[in-house]
Homo-oligomer: A and B are copies of this chain.
Amino acid sequence: MSDLTGKTVAVLGGTGPQGRGLARRFAAAGLDVVIGSRGAEKAERIAAELSEAIGVTVRGAVNADAAAAGDVVLVVVPWEGHAELLTELKSQLAGKVVVDCVNPLGFDKQGPYALAVEEGSATQQAAAILTESRVVGAFHNVSAVLLEDPDVERIECDVLVLGDEREATDLVQALADAVPGMRGVYGGRRRNAHQVEAFTANLIAMNRRYKAHAGLRITDV
Contacts and interface: CB of A to CB of B under 8 A. Distances in A.
Interface stretch (A9-17, A38-46, A48-56, A193-201): A193-201
Interface of A is mostly: mixed
Interface in A106-120: 110-114
Contact of A186 (B199, B206, B215, B216): B206
Interface in A188-208: 188-189, 191-192, 194-196, 198-199, 201-203, 205-206
Nearest to A206: B221
A189 B220 contact: no
A38 to B, nearest CB: 30
A216 B206 CA distance: 14
Given A192-B201, A198-B195, A199-B196, A206 B219 contact: no
Contacts of A218: 203, 206, 214-217
Given A157-B219, A195-B195, A221-B206, A188 B214 contact: no
A77 interface: no
Most buried by B among A160, A194, A221: A221
- Interface size on A, as a range, is 35 or more
A128 interface: no
Contacts of A221: 206, 210, 212, 214
A132 to B, nearest CB: 22
Interface string A153-168: 0001100101000000
A174 to B, nearest CB: 16
Contacts of A212: 220-221
A206 B185 contact: yes
B206 A113 contact: no
Contact of A202 (B196, B201, B213): B196
A180 interface: no
7 contacts: A114-B194, A156-B220, A189-B205, A194-B198, A196-B202, A210-B221, A216-B218
